[in-house]
Amino acid sequence: MQIKPILSRLPALEVTPFGPAGPEGEYRFFALRLPRPSWKNWRPGQFLMLRPAAFGLELPWARPFSICHTTARCLICFFQVCGRGTRRMAQLKHGDEVNVWGPLGNGFAVEPDSQTLLLAGGMGIVPFVGYVNAHPKPWNTSMLFGHREPLKCYPVDNIHEYIPLDSLRETTPGELDNFIFTLNERMRDCAEQNGLVLACGPLPFLQTVRNFARELKARTQILLENTMACGVGACLGCMTRTSDAWPTPEKRGGLVQACRQGPVFWADQVKL
């Protein structure tokens, strides 16, 4: 059951850079803090549509972001500068207005008594910050994190405080092979305990996870980072094809909206 989304207009509190600056002194990773919206609840894995007023007429569409974390007072979004929208967001100042629509979509499953393996690739680590903070029994949870940028660029401290986190940085093809081997071994161990695997990251990473899940018969959910313009199913820009395992027969082999039926899916129910 989805939580009814709310439109909020919130003043930015601060934008904090993460990690080392680039060669020209520019940062690419940021945490945006906003006042907490008037939500009763949210589930890790859900997302927001954000549109700063500074976008003006030049950038008409909002941008989707996984909810990183909330505190009693703040909503935290973590992002990487990768285009005009995120570059504009990195320049937000205290008090700048941001339109926030959410929480949207479905979140990750939580099974407190099951061994839970979190698999993150790059910015796919973001939704797991809120997940480990909210987990009733975090001692049953562990993470494998693959990344290309320096570890300091990511919010790892907010996760390692609660659960064991193993990270592998990819700088050469051999390191990628090592990560894939480790990924397989960790998923195999989890499957043998009938545990739960949760994954978020770029498409090639999720394709690898899905293939291993099928091979190892591991219960696995994946969070798809599809392109979205509206977040409510109107633009049809985030369509994903289902598999024969989709629960409703009329949708098997068809297309569903990642923003409404996802962004979290059981890995065997979608095609990548």
Binding region for [2Fe-2S] cluster = 230, 235, 238, 259
3-state helix, strand, coil split of the chain in percent (to 5) is 30, 30, 40
Give burial (CB, 10 Å; 0-12/13-18/19+) of 152: exposed
Contact 202, 226 (CB under 8 A): no
Say how many Å lie between the first and final Cα of the chain, rounded.
25
Contact 70, 41 (CB under 8 A): no
Place of tokens 């940062």: 27
Pick out the residues of the known binding site: 63-66, 85-86, 230, 235, 238, 259
What gap in Å lies between CA 35 and CA 11, rounded to an integer? Answer: 7
Pick out the residues of the known binding site for FAD: 63-66, 85-86
